[in-house]
Amino acid sequence: MRFAGLGPLALFGLALATAAAVVALYLLRRTPRSQTVSNIAFWRRAAERARPRAPFARRVPWIPLLVSLVVALGLVAELGDPRPRGGEGGVTVLVLAADRTMGARGADGRRRLDQALAAARLVVRAEAGAGRVAVLRAGVRADVAVPLTSHVADAERALATMDADDGTADLAAAVAIARGVVRATGAPGRVVLVADLDVELATDDVPVRRVSVGSAAETVAVTNFDARRDPMALGEYDVRCGVRAYAARRSRARLVIRDRGTVLLDEVLTLGPGEAVLRRAHGFSSAQAELTARLEEVQIEGGRDALAADDVAYAAVPPVVATRVLLVTRGNPWLAGVFGANPTVDLTVRDPSVLGTPAVVASFDVLVLDGVGASVRHPAMMVFDPGVGVALTNPRITAWAADHRVLRGLRFDQVQVARARALVPSADDRVLVRSGRDVLALARERDGGRSVVLGFRAEDTDLVRRVAFPLFAHDALVWLDRREREFHAWQAPGEAVRAAGDGALVLDPAGAPHSVRGALYDAARAGLYHTAQRALAVSAADQSGSLVADAPTSPVPASTRLGGRLSLAQWLAVLLLGIMAAEWVAVQRGRTP
């Protein structure tokens, strides 16, 4: 037996004090003596004689005294929080999964997290009675919810306030941290993993026992949700939303996309088993869009939608921030026109003499060189005709890197080039456009800088007269200026929400302010966060997936599987109630004075 609430000395002292108080109360009880009388005079004289002369009674009710002592000492034992030594002793680190799938609900309406917490309490109560236990919460980040302790109340308080995050947990990393805690103590120990998914764990000297919760379930999810600015329209943006049914039967849901309170799309989707659909919306204008995609009225034939967390996704379109571009040319209306017409570009056109002032060149975000053979260094450059390489006449484009950010969604098979130079790529360069074995364009990342090099000038190709040219120029500037975040309008839970400046404030999705310095690292919940500069979406849409169940592994240790049996504390409480009931019956029947 181990008392987890109070230490042995404190419990012993409290028991002595309680026993002394009960005995003193009974000894100081002034009990009159019985005397048989025949008339009123005798009554008066008997009352005078029966009046106690000593500070304590001459007759002590021993049965009530003993019963009261047992009751009082039993209550003291309850304060000590008795626990059976049913655990294995040593150190136990409990790893509790608290990610998005733990929010799934079963047919009985209980969350997987609720089932996991019930199993965790059984483990804590058994293992804390034999040794020390710690609780490691595995959400989007693994953190210690309860350090090593032998007091069950500490662990149960932490478990009572635990909730699930909206991201995906790295259970293997959490188990590795738990093993490190066990090793640091130098005592024998184990790790107990309570989760709904199976994970591959390396063999180690610290054993891991798995407790599986949940079962296979069906869900309809928003799998991706994104937005981007339209380079051809000032202030407008496009929206893309993907929905997938993780179900074995047909399902139906209503997809509603909103920009704050404005409805952009409202459509009823009918999905077959495992079917995925993609919906687009475009032509909307906003200085800074705050978008929400939500599945409503989800219905699955013969089943139910078990997970509500994947029914909503968030995205934010940032304000238009101009890229400062320096175009160095001897005169090229095509380049000046395409960059000048882009609302996200602050264009400056200069002749090649500006290259003699490096400070001026360095003040721009992107440097565009048109047929200028000067050697210049800049972290973001676009070069048309570098002036070196084998001259080519009418090269036919045979391949292009459609998967690269600069050429995404573009086709070059019909583009004509009159004159060009064959570029010589380095080992780490990415070839963008090729004519047979000759390289006509490449993307380079070197020494922290980026550059896009084209082996031809704008006037030597009909690309400048095609719709693809403004898109190509815009995508190249975004890649060079490292603004890919504008095409990834959200970030996953667990990433930092940054706010510039000391004492900056970040408003979480509930509107609560947080004072931060550089970053707010507690963005574990999905939603729209706000800083003084912009709104930022935290969304778990890309982490949506089927709700599978872990195959049964090592069960909970026998010492923790208490089932429907009462704990020792509950047995003591029942015993005390029985004793008090017996005392009441004895008093009512006159068995005790």
Query: Is the confidence at residue 458, as pLDDT, over 70?
Result: yes
pLDDT score recorded for residue 466 = 87
Mean of pLDDT over the chain: 80
Helix (H) or strand (E) holding 71: helix 62-79
pLDDT score recorded for residue 193 = 92
pLDDT score recorded for residue 554 = 44
Query: Is the confidence at residue 381, as pLDDT, over 70?
Result: yes
Could you tell me if 259 and 290 are in contact, meaning their C-beta atoms sit under 8 angstroms apart? yes
The pLDDT-based confidence of 451 (bands split at 50, 70, 90) is very high
Domains, the chain, with CATH or none: 2-83+580-588 (no CATH), 90-215+548-566 (3.40.50.410), 219-320 (2.60.40.10), 323-482 (3.40.50.880)
Mean pLDDT of 49-63: 56
Across 9-23, 51-65, 146-160, 345-359, least confident range: 51-65
pLDDT score recorded for residue 10 = 72
Contact residues for 258 (Cβ-Cβ < 8 A; gap 6+): 264, 291, 292, 294
Query: Is the confidence at residue 43, as pLDDT, over 70?
Result: no
pLDDT score recorded for residue 34 = 55
pLDDT score recorded for residue 479 = 86
Distance CA 364, CA 377 (A): 12
Could you tell me if 31 and 85 are in contact, meaning their C-beta atoms sit under 8 angstroms apart? no
pLDDT digits (tens, 9 = 90+) for 419-431: 999 999 888 899 9
β-strand pairing of 366-370 with 380-384 = parallel
pTM higher than 0.75 for the full model? no
Name the more confident of 569 and 99. 99
Query: Is the confidence at residue 590, as pLDDT, over 90?
Result: no
Q: Name the 3-class secondary structure at 93.
A: strand
CA angle (481, 228, 298) in 5-degree steps: 145
Query: Is the confidence at residue 560, as pLDDT, over 50?
Result: no
pLDDT score recorded for residue 551 = 45
- Give the number of C-alpha atoms closer than 13 A to the C-alpha of residue 259, restricted to the C-beta side: 20
pLDDT digits (tens, 9 = 90+) for 16-27: 887 787 777 666
pLDDT digits (tens, 9 = 90+) for 316-356: 887 777 789 999 998 888 888 888 888 778 899 999 888 88
pLDDT digits (tens, 9 = 90+) for 78-102: 666 565 554 556 889 999 999 888 8
